[in-house]
Amino acid sequence: MRSMSSILIKGVQVAGKGEGKEKDIYIEGNLIEEIAEAGKGRISEAEFVLQGHGKVAIPGLFNAHTHAAMTLLRGYADDMPLHEWLSNKIWPVEARLTEEDVYWGTKLACLEMIKSGTIFFNDMYWHFRGIARAVTESGLRAALSGVFIDGFDEAQAKEQMQINERLYHESKGLSDRIIFVLGPHALYTVSEESLCWVRDFAERHDLLVHIHLSETEEEVKSCVGRYGMRPVEYLDSIGFLSPRTIAAHCVHVSSRELALLKQHETKIVHTPASNMKLAAGRMPYEQMKEAGLYRNIALGTDGCASNNNLDMFEEMKIASLFHKAFINPTVMPAEEAFELATVNAARMFRLNSGVIEVGKLADIVLLDLKNVALIPNHNLISNIVYAASGSCVDTVICDGKILMSGRKVEGEEEIKEKARTVAYRLVNGS
Ligand code: NI
């Protein structure tokens, strides 16, 4: 739904546009209508006026790989080997999840994202309807997919296809802020028959496809064992890869696989904190850049059980430091980390967002320049990536609506209380 309200942000600095100079940003409906020198614009009144003095406007951040409702499992099981962690801790709890649980877990995630300046997330989780309801209420943008897992079972495959077809049709009635995406979980949980169905359905309806790909060495080995090819080679062989494919992780990819990803202009989501925490390995970022894939890469936090928060400021810093630690300090400079969390991701999800310009969607975050982490401000992007955290965010506007102002979000206390109750009940199994 398009809001026809208007917002004027007065006297705010705009990242990348003559820093230090104050501007007025006028938003009408969900678009940025005018950016002018402070006090010099055509428009000087609006329904909502925000004082921008002492603040800087940056594009809202994008989290390109999440399992949002896993906020409920934050800190529940850490420091364990991946398989043991999944089998003994995560999956048994997930088996008990109801739609209402996922709704509250996603509400908590949306609250955390708003409070840390994220305006979009790309999710894959159970109980699609609960997630969609939480996103609709939150005011955020999201690409939502159910988890498509068939466990190589024909009956389950058929059921998953029917469910996804139904959700696709249902999703047309959802908010414009929600993009319906197909979410085949991974090569080790989804059969070839289902992957081919996803490929055809996505092509027919021009849908994005969100998949976990080459996260661990074991995954690569199991794929070679099953199909005689590495994961990317296999997906290429069945015609699965396209510019609409969004592959999370891509840690273990050969140079031949990088060439295939480039050939199909496949998109990649880097999840550095999760990969480090689960010791999955380090994505070959420099080789990806050499292969011409830079513009195809975005950043994601993964679920809160393996991160353990959704703060994209932290994720930008971790991404940059991860690669520097192993290569040299010039790898992934601050500007690149920032692009991965903004423009690159907006392109990936086909959204007219990710930068602050006239004609773009009004997805704007205001940082408080009085926050101690932002003083002094020699270089804003450096401060954003290396010094800031989500707590520097003062105001969040998404799709032309104010979701947070002065760090206050409507309904915050109720969300925290309900999510806490749901989380304890889930984990205690009662
Ligand atoms: Ni994941």
Distance, in Å, from the CA atom of 148 to the CA atom of 191, rounded to the nearest integer, reads 10
User: Is omega for the bond preceding 284 within 30 degrees of 0, making it cis?
Assistant: no
Do the strands 401-404 and 393-398 form a parallel or antiparallel pair, or are they unpaired? antiparallel
Q: What is the mean pLDDT of residues 91-96?
A: 91
Please say if the pLDDT value at position 162 is more than 60. Answer: yes
Please say if the pLDDT value at position 402 is more than 60. Answer: yes
| Least confident stretch, 37-51, 109-123, 356-370 | 37-51
pTM of the predicted model as reported, rounded to 2 decimal places: 0.97
| Sequence-ordered list of residues with C-beta below 8 angstroms from that of 84, at least 6 positions apart, any chain | none
How many angstroms is it from 242 CA to the middle of ligand 1? 20
What pLDDT shows up at residue 16?
Answer: 81
CA torsion 98-165-347-333 (nearest 10°) is 40
- Report the first-to-last Cα separation within the chain, whole angstroms: 40
How many angstroms is it from 386 CA to the middle of ligand 1? 25
CA distances from 419 to 69, 109, 324, 427 (A): 10, 10, 37, 12
Q: Which of 180, 164, 184, 162 is nearest to 172 (CA)?
A: 180
Please say if the pLDDT value at position 3 is more than 60. Answer: no
What pLDDT shows up at residue 243?
Answer: 98
Maximum pairwise Cα distance, the chain = 66
How many angstroms is it from 67 CA to the middle of ligand 1? 6
Please say if the pLDDT value at position 201 is more than 90. Answer: yes
In one-letter notation, the amino acid at residue 231 is P
Please say if the pLDDT value at position 100 is more than 80. Answer: yes
User: Is omega for the bond preceding 309 within 30 degrees of 0, making it cis?
Assistant: no
Distance, in Å, from the CA atom of 278 to the CA atom of 243, rounded to the nearest integer, reads 28
Q: Which domains does the chain have, with CATH numbers?
A: 6-59+355-412 (2.30.40.10), 61-348 (3.20.20.140)
Report the share of the chain in percent with pLDDT over 70: 98
What pLDDT shows up at residue 83?
Answer: 82
How many angstroms is it from 212 CA to the middle of ligand 1? 6
Cβ–Cβ contacts within 10 Å for residue 191, how many?
Answer: 19
Angle between helices 99-115 and 128-138 (to 10 degrees): 30
Please say if the pLDDT value at position 57 is more than 70. Answer: yes
Of 135 and 83, the one with more pLDDT: 135
E strands in 16-105: 23-28, 31-37, 48-51, 55-59, 61-66
Distance, in Å, from the CA atom of 125 to the CA atom of 302, rounded to the nearest integer, reads 11
Q: What is the mean pLDDT of residues 251-278?
A: 98
Per-residue pLDDT band for 1 (boundaries 50, 70, 90) equals very low
Q: What is the mean pLDDT of residues 275-301?
A: 97
Task: Give me the residues near ligand 1 (ion), CB cutoff below 5 Å.
Answer: 302
What pLDDT shows up at residue 176?
Answer: 97
How many angstroms is it from 30 CA to the middle of ligand 1? 31
HSE-CB at 255 with a 13 A cutoff on CA atoms is 3
Q: Which of 310, 305, 280 is nearest to 64 (CA)?
A: 310
Among the residues of 37-153, which ranges form H helices?
Answer: 82-84, 91-95, 99-115, 128-138
Per-residue pLDDT band for 2 (boundaries 50, 70, 90) equals very low
DSSP notation for 347-362: HHTT-S-SS--TTSB-
What pLDDT shows up at residue 114?
Answer: 98
Please say if the pLDDT value at position 11 is more than 90. Answer: yes
**Contact predicate 212/269, CB 8 Å:** no
Q: Write out the two tokens for 64.
A: 């390109």
Please say if the pLDDT value at position 151 is more than 60. Answer: yes
Distance, in Å, from the CA atom of 286 to the CA atom of 332, rounded to the nearest integer, reads 8
Per-residue pLDDT band for 430 (boundaries 50, 70, 90) equals low
How many angstroms is it from 66 CA to the middle of ligand 1? 6
How many angstroms is it from 210 CA to the middle of ligand 1? 10
Distance, in Å, from the CA atom of 36 to the CA atom of 135, rounded to the nearest integer, reads 32
| Sequence-ordered list of residues with C-beta below 8 angstroms from that of 298, at least 6 positions apart, any chain | 62, 64, 267, 268, 269, 270, 340, 341, 344, 345, 348
How many angstroms is it from 163 CA to the middle of ligand 1? 21
| Least confident stretch, 85-89, 101-105, 128-132 | 85-89
How many angstroms is it from 301 CA to the middle of ligand 1? 8
| Average per-residue pLDDT for the chain | 96
How many angstroms is it from 262 CA to the middle of ligand 1? 22
Q: What is the mean pLDDT of residues 235-242?
A: 98
What pLDDT shows up at residue 4?
Answer: 66
Distance, in Å, from the CA atom of 113 to the CA atom of 321, rounded to the nearest integer, reads 22
Instruction: Using the CB atoms, write b or e for 357-370: b if 16+ within 10 Å.
Output: eeebbbbbbbbbbe
| Least confident stretch, 12-26, 136-150, 232-246, 257-271 | 12-26
Q: What is the mean pLDDT of residues 194-211?
A: 98
**Contact predicate 182/195, CB 8 Å:** no
What pLDDT shows up at residue 290?
Answer: 98
